[in-house]
Amino acid sequence: MELGIREKLPLSEIARNFNAYLMGTDRQISKFGNLSSVTDKPQQQLTYVIAEKYLKSFNTSNIGACIVHESLKELCIKEKSYIITSENPEQLFYTIFLNHYQSGHFKTLSSTRDSSTIIAPSAVIHNSVVIGKDCLIMDNVVIMPNTIIGDRVTIKPNTVIGGDGFQVKTLEGRRKVIPHVGGVKIMNDVEIGSSVCIDKGLFGEFTTIHNETKIDNLVHIAHSAVIGESCTIAAGSSIAGAVTVGNNVWIGVNCSINQLLNIGDYSLVGTGSVVIKSVLPHKKVFGSPAKTIGLVCKCRADIISSEEQLVCSQCNNRYAFVEGQLVEVS
């Protein structure tokens, strides 16, 4: 699910309106994004590149259209579509994005609220918010537009759901925090502690918290992150933009996870760790920077080597490495 542009825009029209020109096939654009953005409509996405290596990445991606500086046009290929500009492509991209944001061109949700949900009188629920059954929303919670909350969700005092993330760009000589046009989706049976901030997606995607994940106090989850099922995120941790956390992951107190990383299923991030590279499933990592210090079973006990086999120290589940990945074996 994404919140794109209300009506598709011809790429040729975008180019003409911003003193650039189209190279390649004209396309209907329904969303914006960068090369790492997750979308189910890549052929309708407009992105940008600022260097040759990124243009090569775009050319081999499934994204349809790109803003490119005229000095790189010889590297453009006929299968793709380009807006060719003499300006800085990144600044032009965000200028176009802000223009459509200020014109109200992006979709929003229709508000609904189940009567079984309990909402404290001091909570602030904005328009364009969907709330399911049997939720508890406590004192001074703020829920911003384009938020979807499932069933049996608890949100504790002073938490903010759906604010803008921290995407800072220099446009027209001024540093600006870019407004976000996506949302937040919180699935069923999630519990969110006090003074938590969960930012909405940047380009129309949803920051997502999946079923039965539990989030402690003072946690920050940045724009476009995806948190899997049955995760535990302890107090003070910070998860940066576009991070993907798998299922049944444990993140200890005061951890920091850098942007764009993947944290594999059943992994464990130890207290105070700074994660700067992706973590494979079942790995236990610790430190600053975080390094692998062991393996973790589904039951969260240590996996140990016994008689040339990998065995859980508690439940006796057996594991083996297959093509570099740890898998459970019968």
For the annotated catalytic residues, the residue numbers are 223
d(CA 283, CA 281): 6
Would you list the DSSP string of 77-107? -TTSEEEEESS-HHHHHHHHHHHHHHTT-B-
* CA 56 remoteness from chain centre: 24
Whether the Cβ atoms of residue 92 and residue 18 lie closer than 8 Å to each other: yes
Whether the Cβ atoms of residue 63 and residue 47 lie closer than 8 Å to each other: yes
Q: Which residues contact 237 (CB under 8 A, 6 or more apart)?
A: 216, 219, 220, 251, 252, 253, 254, 255, 256, 257
Q: What is the largest CA-CA distance in the chain?
A: 70
Whether the Cβ atoms of residue 132 and residue 151 lie closer than 8 Å to each other: yes
Whether the Cβ atoms of residue 239 and residue 224 lie closer than 8 Å to each other: no
Across 35-159, the runs of DSSP E, i.e. the strands, are 45-48, 65-69, 81-85, 112-113, 118-119, 124-125, 129-131, 136-137, 142-143, 147-149, 154-155
d(CA 30, CA 64): 11
